[in-house]
Amino acid sequence: DQQVKQNSPSLSVQEGRISILNCDYTNSMFDYFLWYKKYPAEGPTFLISISSIKDKNEDGRFTVFLNKSAKHLSLHIVPSQPGDSAVYFCAASSSGTYKYIFGTGTRLKVLA
Amino acid sequence: KAGVTQTPRYLIKTRGQQVTLSCSPISGHRSVSWYQQTPGQGLQFLFEYFSETQRNKGNFPGRFSGRQFSNSRSEMNVSTLELGDSALYLCASSLAASGVETQYFGPGTRLLVL
């Protein structure tokens, strides 16, 4: 039962263009969402979060959008840079459960 | 502030052995979570500790166990190792008073079971 899904295993984008990474979830009780970036042989690095009381959160080049009715969130990276090439994970949690459910990740490749 | 540290970084064991992994959270963080990552899989939740109490546990067999000490440092133990236990084991810490706070990860321990 995969409660958090990242249906695109990989994505290639030209440098300078927008990268859009998508994440779908099934549990309507999720109320906090995170995005992480992961390089090989390293732990995930926190990028940006969003609470279910918001539908958008921005931090520099990174923006996360949350569509609660569609149970969908997306991460936009603008402009994309070669250093953004990594695996991106979305994660979701609901208050009081003390656990995050992670998607299987999307490998982003930014082409110079 | 120093980040989350995990020791050892790499470990090779044989089937049937047991292993203990250690995690030191960010100073002031009282919650520690453990995850297993295998090739092609996302991060699978193992368990979460707060103030020395396990608050949640994932769907792993009883061979996987953990504990947390009064200084918030945590250990996880895997007994009777199987080949399928080969994975990257990640520890994450957070302030986690509410349980929905950002988790910060350590570099992980790469375990290889032969």
Question: In sequence order, which ranges of chain B are alpha helices (DSSP H)?
Answer: none
- pLDDT tens-digit readout, A19-32: 999 999 999 999 99
* pLDDT higher than 60, residue A65: yes
pLDDT at res. B97: 63
pLDDT at res. B42: 81
- pLDDT tens-digit readout, B35-58: 999 887 789 999 999 999 999 999
The span from the CA of A45 to the CA of A53, in Å, is 24
Residues of A in contact with B31 (CB under 8 A): 98
Q: CB distance B48–A94 less than 8 Å?
A: no
Shortest Cα distance, chain A CAs vs residue B70, angstroms? 19
Residues of A in contact with B106 (CB under 8 A): 43
pLDDT at res. B77: 98
pLDDT at res. A96: 82
CB neighbourhood size of B43 (10 A): 27
- Best residue in A24, A49, A100 for a mutation probing chain B (most B CBs within 10 Å): A100
List, in order, residues 6 or more apart from A63 with CB less than 8 Å away.
Answer: A48, A56, A57, A75, A76, A78
B110 and chain A in contact, CB less than 8 A: yes
The span from the CA of B109 to the CA of B107, in Å, is 7
Low-confidence ranges of chain B (pLDDT < 70): 1, 96-100
The span from the CA of B55 to the CA of B30, in Å, is 12
